[in-house]
Structure 1
């Protein structure tokens, strides 16, 4: 008797065993399955009223199709499901942070609006200062916020790109992150040119891209140092 096992990769294997006859002249055998479970393979049974000798006179070699490697297939499906979940969550984080940046670029967070919020805090920290110095502090805080926002966006996009593809493609993930940063920064500043209370500036685009570039370069340097043979030998 030949047992033909079908796997997930369509590889076929033949296995021979000697069939057994039970009290009803039904020929079969329990095939060991995954985890010690058995699969009953019935070869044939004579019809009522037929002579079993006639049935047994048929050729003794038959082919039976049985599924195989069910545990491996289930494990691969579970791993793929977990990977897809990580990919979706990683890109949801990117989209969510990009939406926050887009909201902060609206008219509600213009210079005049945020300066009124920051004024009490600056006076509490520094004290009474002249208008020009206060303006310079406001400007520095806003530009630093630009830099930090897009640095975080670059890190999230870099991580999402790595999870989606291969962790060995660090440079590709870095370029994807910088493309997302530059695209969002340009679009945000472009829409501010049509605002009555805000002004779009190419300088702000450069600040945003610089924040993303510094974040990506930092991650690349740290990751490559961790993967270098010297660091592995030192840690061991």
Structure 2
């Protein structure tokens, strides 16, 4: 009857394959979530202008009290803030997913994807009635993606530091 290897990985003779396989599976799950999220973003880009505006107006109406509390009552300003915040936040999530899907040490790939995905997003809008592409939105999206990446990296470093202290 076979026994499971015990002891440190480098002494077990299995090369640590099980933890590496688990990391690969985890990255595959994160990559699937990343693709799903990019499709979610691009799906919203395919919404025609009037429907997209109506969606933003509904959210602005929900947040109207908060904006009024902050001293902002101009509906155009509120809608603009809602639309640009949505861009930033959806790409912050994308940045986090990029980091988790690719793992450490791939900065060039993160940055390329963080810029390519919003650029494609804006290009899609060129072909949707009532929508247009905006370099400002690409900049907001890229800033959101970098923020998501940064928050994820910071959380990883803090977690590693805590693990180091507890060992």
Q: TM-score range by the shorter chain?
A: 0.7 to 0.9
> Aligned Cα RMSD in Å?
3.4
Say whether the 8 Å CA contact 1:154–1:178 is kept in structure 2. Answer: no
Number of residue-to-residue matches in the alignment? 154
Which runs of structure 1 show a deviation greater than 4 angstroms over 4 or more consecutive aligned residues? 75-81, 108-111, 122-127, 225-228
* TM-superposed deviation, 1:156: 0.7
Q: Are residues 1:151 and 2:92 paired?
A: yes
User: Aligned to 2:34, which of 80, 89, 94?
Assistant: 94
Gaps of 5+ in 2: 4-11
- Could you tell me which residue of structure 2 aligns to residue 213 of structure 1? 146
- What is the CA–CA distance in structure 1 between the aligned matches of 2:2 and 2:64, rounded to whole Å? 72
Structure with the bigger percentage of strand: 1
Describe the SS at the equivalent of 2:128.
coil
Q: Which residue of 2 aligns with 1:85?
A: 25
Give ranges in structure 1 of 5+ residues lacking alignment. Answer: 1-32, 36-70
* Equivalent residue for 1:197, pick from 109, 124, 130: 130
Paired residue secondary structure (1:107): coil
Q: Tell me which protein shows more helix as a share of its residues.
A: 2
Residue 139 of structure 1: aligned partner: 80
Q: TM-score, normalised by structure 2?
A: 0.72
1:123/1:231 CA distance change after superposition, 3 Å: closer
TM value normalised by structure 1: 0.54
Q: Which has the higher contact order (CA 8 A, sep 6+)?
A: 2
Quick one: distance in 1 between partners of 2:37 and 2:56?
Answer: 23
Which residue pairs with 1:40 in the alignment? none
Write out per-residue CA displacement over residues 147-196 of structure 1, whole angstroms, 9 at most, x where no aligned residue. 0111111111111111xxxx4x2xx2x43223212111001111212332
